[in-house]
Amino acid sequence: MKPPSGLPELPELKLKAREDRRIRGGHLWIYSNEIDTTQTPIKAFEPGDVVSLVSDRGHFLGYAGVNPHSLIAARILSRDPARRPGQGLVKHRLNVALKLRDQLYPDRCYRLMFGESDGLPGLVADRFGDYVVLQASTAAIERIKGEVVDAVNAVLDPVGILWRNDSGARDMEGLEQYVEVACGDVPERVPVREGAMQFMAPLHAGQKTGWFFDQRDNRVRFARYPAGKTLDTFCYTGAWGLGLAARGGQSAFVDASAQALAWVEEEGQRLGLPVETLQGNAFEVLRGLRDEGRRFDTVIVDPPAFIKRKKDFRQGLAAYQRINELAMRVMEPDGWLVSCSCSHHLSVSDLTAAIQRAARHLGRFVQVTEIGAQSADHPLHPAIPETRYLKALVCRVVGADS
């Protein structure tokens, strides 16, 4: 393949025979054991190098960013020979992604770039109106971070851009963790709208990019359910419980983080809503509430991933069953359970079965009324199952098996 527009040739990374089928089917990841290391030694590359990925017969498959120290040794960034990774490619990807989000979320608050699903593995971009928060989780994106910022400025012209490069995913790529303002001015907290509610998102010190846009569609849809006494566990900034409180409910919030609960209290004061905060491990707090005889009409269970690796499946599945059983123990005889999982390795059927086992252990009857997934600004890549990760089951839990 000749380089476009007279650009210098890139080094090649060659696959073994028949290892290109999954790539031709649309997948973007190349594992280290799929590479023909006799002809193209992966250890010869530096983390973040861009290569021309070719089949065993020398057919061009795409431009990829490599990391010889990672199990996923390369990720395809472009299949078009005329679009090499850089500012031009990022601008193109941003414009395509922006068209989708602006059709669905006119408030300009959304996940703008969702890595593989938007064609740029390793890059996340969240938009908060005039501000953008970026995350780079691969060495290849880290290498072109300047071009990424230039592209965001060219497409969105934001007031400020913040890098939240402090996720654990960077450890696997051998990248340092840091938080820094890339350009402009980015306040500690900025407004974000969900349906009729406006919250304040902590961009610099919050979890992930400061907000969990992936649950927004589920929270907005849950607004049609009754608002009574609510317990919001693993609450972070309390978007689930505050939304119910705004409709006349009474909400209590549980989180291990004192800072998260401080944000909940500030939000309650700003919105004029009474809140009760309970700091501690959610499992232990739920046991304490059970022993106190406390009961709630709705319990939200939205934990971090209990199954981060496939080998953790059995232990994680038991944790999901245990937390849902504890939630049911503090529910009124006819209540609502919102049970979520962001573990890719846990399927909807696995979570449903865990909830059912928990209910049977207590002699209760469950009806699943809705099965939610991540919001539309987190689209699924049909060839990459890992992009489908969030499950949110809305369950009616009746007091006794009928």
Distance of CA 116 to the CA centre of its chain: 12
Supply the residues annotated as catalytic. 342
Two structure tokens written together for 235: 């609450």
- 165 contact partners, CB below 8 Å, separation of at least 6: 135, 136, 142, 175, 176, 177, 178, 179, 180
What angle is formed at CA 156 by the lines to CA 151 and CA 162, rounded to 5 degrees?
A: 75
Q: % helix / strand / coil in the chain, to the nearest 5?
A: 35, 30, 35
Q: Which amino acid is at 188?
A: E
Structure tokens at 178: 């840091």
Whose tokens are 């990841």? That residue is 29
Where do the DSSP E strands lie in 72-177? 72-78, 109-114, 123-128, 131-136, 160-165
Q: Tell me the C-alpha distance between 191 and 201, whole Å.
A: 6
| Residue tagged 């079965």 (tokens) | 353
Cβ atoms 81, 94 nearer than 8 A = no
Contact criterion met (CB below 8 Å) for 379 and 117: yes
The torsion defined by the Cα of 171, 342, 309 and 75, in degrees rounded to 10, comes to: -60
